[in-house]
Amino acid sequence: MGIDFREIAQFLHRAETEKRAVERITARYPELTVEDAYRIQEELAAIKQAQGHRVIARKMGLTSKAKMKQMNVEEPIHGLLFDYMVIEDGGVLVYDELIHPRVEAEIAFVLGEDLEGPAVTGAQVLKATQYVLPAIEFVDSRYENFRFTLADVVADNTSSSRFVLGSKLTSPEGLDLDLIGVTLHINGEIKGLGAGAAVLGHPANSVAMLANMLARKGERLRAGEVVLTGGITEAIVVEPGDVVTAKLDQLGDVSVVVK
Ligand code: OOG
Ligand code: MG
C-alpha cells in the first residue's frame, strides 16, 4: 500500500479549517519524501480550489538564514497563496481564524514577463519584474508547537495563512534590493531587522529559484504573478491587540492590526 496523498491533504485541510494543531505527518509516515510532500500540497490546493478558492500569489519560504535557523530546516520551499488569505494594507487579521500565527516581513515581486526554468538567474528575474512591493506574511503551521521537517512543511503548503501587500508599487530598475533595509515593528517596537540580502543574497534569487523548482514539474512563472520571496528576519509571534508594521527602505510601509 502506498501513502494516500489525498487523505493526508484532507487531514491538513481539516486542521486548518478547524483551527487545530495536529501531529506532524512524518511521525506517521517517516518515509515520506519531499517529492511526495509537493504532491500532497497539490492535493491540498485541489481541495481548496474545489471549494471555490483561487490561487492569487506564490511564495518562497526558508530563504534566509534567520528563518532556516529558527525552523531548523535548511532548504528553501515554495507554496501557494489563495484569495481568502489576503488582507488589505492597514486591514485586520482576525486572530481567532488561526492557530498560532507568526509574522514575517518580506519583499514581493510582480512579474511583467513569463519566467521559465531550469536556469533562470536573478538578473533575468529583475529584467522580467514589473514591480516590487513590501509585504507582511503570517505563517500558521498546522503542526503542534510549530515544529516540522522539510516534508511536513511542504505538505502543509509552507504554513501559508494570511498575507498583506503594501500599496506602493516600485519598479526595481536602479534599485539595489539586496541593500534595502527592513524593520519589523510590533506596537512601535522593533522586533526584527535586516536587509534584502538576507534572502539568498538578493531577493531576485528567490524568484529565480522558484522558477527553477517549478521547471522540474514542467511549470513556469507567468506575467502578472505575484511572488513573496521569504521572511528576512525570524518570524515573530503575534497576539490580539498587536499593530504590526513592516518598513522597507524606498519600498514603503505595510501594516495590519491583529484583533
Ligand atoms: C514555513 C514558511 C516559511 C518564510 O518566509 O520563510 C516562510 C514556516 O516557517 O512556518 O514563509
Ligand atoms: Mg514567508
**pLDDT, tens only, 92-105:** 999 999 999 999 99
Closest to 41 measured CA to CA, from 6, 76, 82, 88: 6
Confidence of residue 221 (pLDDT cuts 50, 70, 90): very high
Which residue's CA is the nearest one to ligand 1's atom 10?
Answer: 159
State the burial class of residue 220 (Cβ atoms within 10 Å of its Cβ: 0-12, 13-18, 19+).
Answer: middle
The pLDDT, as a whole number, for residue 41 is: 98
Nearest ligand to the CA atom of 76: 1
Q: Are 10 and 18 in contact (CB under 8 A)?
A: no
Q: Are 142 and 188 in contact (CB under 8 A)?
A: no
Is the CB of 159 inside a 6 Å radius of any atom of ligand 1? yes
Atom nearest to 229 CA in ligand 1: 5
Is the CB of 66 inside a 6 Å radius of any atom of ligand 1? no
Q: What percent of the chain has pLDDT over 90?
A: 99
* Domains, the chain, with CATH or none: 5-258 (3.90.850.10)
Which residue's CA is the nearest one to ligand 1's atom 8?
Answer: 159
Is the CB of 230 inside a 6 Å radius of any atom of ligand 1? yes
Is the CB of 62 inside a 6 Å radius of any atom of ligand 1? yes
Q: What percent of the chain has pLDDT over 70?
A: 100
Is the CB of 73 inside a 6 Å radius of any atom of ligand 1? no
The pLDDT, as a whole number, for residue 243 is: 98
Which residue's CA is the nearest one to ligand 1's atom 7?
Answer: 61
230 C-alpha to ligand 1 centroid (Å): 7
Rounded to the nearest integer, the mean pLDDT of the chain is 98
- Cα–Cα distance for residue pair 53/200, rounded to 1 Å: 31
pLDDT in tens, 56-90: 999 999 999 999 999 999 999 999 999 999 999 99
- Cα–Cα distance for residue pair 42/61, rounded to 1 Å: 17
3-state helix, strand, coil in the chain (%, to 5): 35, 30, 35
Torsion, Cα of 96, 97, 103, 109 (10° steps): -160
ipTM score here? 0.99
11 C-alpha to ligand 2 centroid (Å): 23
- Cα–Cα distance for residue pair 124/204, rounded to 1 Å: 9
Is the CB of 105 inside a 6 Å radius of any atom of ligand 1? no
The pLDDT, as a whole number, for residue 2 is: 86
The pLDDT, as a whole number, for residue 231 is: 98
User: Distance from CA of residue 84 to its chain's centroid?
Assistant: 15
Is the CB of 136 inside a 6 Å radius of any atom of ligand 1? no
Q: Give me the helices (H) in 173-222, please.
A: 203-215
Give the DSSP H/E element, type plus range, for residue 194: strand 189-195
| Across 174-180, average pLDDT | 98
Atom nearest to 63 CA in ligand 1: 6
Is the CB of 236 inside a 6 Å radius of any atom of ligand 1? no
Q: Is the pLDDT of residue 1 over 80?
A: no
106 C-alpha to ligand 2 centroid (Å): 7
Amino acid at 96: D
| Across 1-19, average pLDDT | 95
pLDDT in tens, 112-147: 999 999 999 999 999 999 999 999 999 999 999 999
- The phi, psi pair for 177, rounded to 5°, reads -65, -25
User: Distance from CA of residue 46 to its chain's centroid?
Assistant: 18
Cβ-based neighbours of 7, under 8 Å, separated by 6 or more: none
Nearest ligand to the CA atom of 234: 1
Is the CB of 162 inside a 6 Å radius of any atom of ligand 1? no
- The phi, psi pair for 134, rounded to 5°, reads -75, 150
- Cα–Cα distance for residue pair 220/222, rounded to 1 Å: 6
